[in-house]
């Protein structure tokens, strides 16, 4: 591994457990890190990973002075909560060169790492999301204003001219909406690619400028676009295939059953390939290789990744709601004051400039805050899975310039 965030895959097929020197966790080590050479021989039956007991015993040698916890020290330092006989309780000591400790992460550490990166590197993170969100929302406001305003309401729906006018207007509106969706897609891809690079450097404790993030992300942008379009196309094909029997038979119940069956399948596939984006960006891989990597990394951890992703979605949705809804309500109230009940009935109150602009301002603020959190959680989930399966903590420590880390490092001091 090199010092750049473009992490290479360690070994020919690391997710299949073929990485030389990597441990599967059954030898009592955490994150696949083997015990120090020449150290104590552990019994074959060890506590499950993450469950730590006090090493102190009544027959222990005379106690040395206990090491006091360092003020403000986190899990990355050797000071920790003292158990009976001076033993260590809680999580094992771990180096923390950046925003996360170099060991398997829990939910709180993943969320904290995403927020800490946004807080520490805000000069780089927030301008990226602010520019992307502003461009997307400006185009969205223009599309909504002029597309919805042009939707004709025929005074005589039965006349041929009115129907033709309605279909022509609807076709133009669909083109505008598709163009708006394409702009949102491009903006999201650019922001995701650059944020991925920033988060990968933050894990190592390195800063990153906007120019550096762009230069590192740019070579993979077309592949990331291809990956996003491939996943979207796959989802559309699955829905159409499951709805097709009901459509051909003209049976609404069969069509509804197909749609209901498509939902869990789409969720399962979305989580299965949720780590493809960071794999493609950080390993500089192809689209197909990134899909395979994500499938291997998620295997056996689907429910855990689903829970973390779902909770992140709920948090970001709540944050967005408390920002957007009050501004949208104020805009709607202004539109109501201008057009009255008639404006609410025909929709002009919701498509007035006040309502659209205030809603867009709220959306820009919300996306500027929530986009880094969502991207950060995805990147840190990818890092966490590689630490658990491939001992990526060794590679990260080496890239961060840490000394005495790994199999040949001296054991950390204990209080007993």
pLDDT digits (tens, 9 = 90+) for 199-216: 999 999 999 999 999 999
Nearest in space to 34 (alpha carbons), one of 413, 408, 361, 416? 408
Which one-letter DSSP state was computed for residue 270?
H
CA distance 18 to 217: 29
Quick one: pLDDT at residue 151?
53
Q: Quick check: 294 pLDDT over 60?
A: yes
Q: Quick one: tokens of 152?
A: 């004709």
Question: Coil, strand or helix: which one is 105?
Answer: coil
Mean pLDDT of the chain: 77
Q: Quick check: 8 pLDDT over 50?
A: no
Q: In degrees, to the nearest 5, what angle opens at C-alpha 190 toward C-alphas 184 and 193?
A: 135
Q: What are phi and psi of 82, to 5 degrees?
A: -90, 130
CA distance 195 to 406: 29
Q: Quick check: 10 pLDDT over 80?
A: no
CA distance 267 to 287: 20
10 Å Cβ neighbour count for 321?
A: 13
- Return the higher-pLDDT residue of 349 and 85: 349
Q: Name the β-bridge partners of 88.
A: 82
CA distance 207 to 282: 16
Q: Quick check: 59 pLDDT over 80?
A: no
Q: What are phi and psi of 88, to 5 degrees?
A: -90, 135
Q: Quick check: 252 pLDDT over 70?
A: yes
Give buried/exposed letters for 5-42 (b at 16+ CB in 10 A, else e).
bbbebbbeebbeeebeebbebeeebbbbbbeeeeeeee
10 Å Cβ neighbour count for 87?
A: 19
Segment 284-289 mean pLDDT? 95
Quick one: pLDDT at residue 250?
86
Percent of the chain clearing pLDDT 90 (strictly above): 50
Confidence of residue 94 (pLDDT cuts 50, 70, 90): confident
CA distance 160 to 48: 74
Nearest in space to 3 (alpha carbons), one of 274, 367, 409, 397? 397
CA distance 26 to 45: 9
3-state secondary structure 390-402: HCHHHHHHHHHCC
pTM for the structure as a whole: 0.74
- Return the higher-pLDDT residue of 371 and 413: 371
CA distance 102 to 394: 8
- Return the higher-pLDDT residue of 248 and 81: 248
Residues in the chain: 416
Nearest in space to 202 (alpha carbons), one of 310, 288, 122? 122
When mean pLDDT is compared across 21-25, 207-211, 220-224, 392-396, the lowest value belongs to 21-25
Confidence of residue 74 (pLDDT cuts 50, 70, 90): very low
CA atoms within 13 A on the CB side of 188: 16
Segment 45-61 mean pLDDT? 41
pLDDT digits (tens, 9 = 90+) for 103-159: 999 999 999 999 999 999 999 999 999 999 999 999 988 888 777 655 544 444 454
Q: Quick one: tokens of 129?
A: 């999301």
Spans of all domains in the chain? 107-218+301-391
Confidence of residue 229 (pLDDT cuts 50, 70, 90): very high
pLDDT digits (tens, 9 = 90+) for 358-397: 999 999 999 999 999 999 999 999 999 999 999 999 999 9
10 Å Cβ neighbour count for 250?
A: 8
């Amino acid at each position: 591994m090199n010092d750049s965030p473009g992490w290479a895959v360690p070994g020919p097929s690391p997710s299949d457990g073929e990485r030389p020197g990597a441990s599967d966790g059954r030898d009592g080590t955490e994150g696949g890190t083997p015990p120090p050479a020449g150290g104590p021989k552990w019994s074959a039956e060890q506590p499950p990973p993450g469950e730590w007991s006090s090493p102190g015993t009544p027959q222990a040698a005379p106690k040395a002075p206990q090491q006091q916890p360092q003020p403000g020290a986190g899990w990355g330092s050797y000071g920790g909560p003292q158990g009976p006989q001076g033993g260590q309780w809680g999580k094992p000591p771990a180096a923390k060169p950046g925003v996360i400790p170099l060991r398997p992460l829990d939910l709180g550490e993943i969320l904290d790492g995403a927020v800490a990166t946004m807080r520490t590197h805000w000069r780089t993170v927030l301008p990226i999301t602010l520019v992307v969100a502003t461009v997307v929302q400006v185009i969205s406001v223009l599309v909504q204003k002029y597309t919805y305003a042009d939707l004709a309401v025929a005074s005589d729906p039965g006349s041929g001219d009115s129907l033709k006018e309605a279909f022509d207007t609807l076709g133009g509106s669909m083109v505008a909406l598709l163009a708006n969706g394409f702009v949102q897609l491009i903006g999201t891809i650019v922001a995701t690619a650059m944020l991925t690079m920033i988060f990968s450097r933050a894990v190592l404790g390195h800063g990153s400028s906007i120019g550096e993030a762009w230069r590192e992300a740019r070579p993979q942008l077309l592949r990331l676009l291809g990956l996003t379009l491939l996943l979207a196309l796959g989802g559309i094909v699955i829905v159409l295939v499951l709805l097709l029997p009901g459509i051909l038979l003209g049976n609404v119940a069969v069509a509804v059953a197909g749609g209901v069956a498509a939902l869990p399948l789409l969720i399962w596939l979305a989580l299965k390939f949720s780590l493809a984006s960071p794999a493609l960006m950080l390993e500089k891989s192809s689209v197909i290789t990134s899909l395979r990597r994500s499938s291997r990394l998620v295997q056996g951890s689907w429910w855990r990744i689903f829970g973390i992703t779902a909770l992140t979605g709920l948090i970001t949705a709540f944050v967005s709601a408390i920002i957007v809804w009050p501004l949208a309500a104020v805009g709607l109230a202004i539109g109501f004051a201008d057009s009255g009940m008639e404006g609410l009935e025909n929709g002009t109150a919701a498509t007035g400039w006040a309502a659209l602009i205030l809603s867009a301002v709220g959306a820009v603020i919300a996306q500027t805050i929530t986009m880094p959190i969502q991207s950060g959680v995805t990147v840190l989930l990818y890092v966490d899975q590689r630490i658990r399966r491939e001992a990526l903590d060794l590679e990260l420590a080496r890239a961060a310039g840490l000394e005495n880390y790994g199999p040949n490092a001296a054991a950390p001091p204990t209080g007993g």
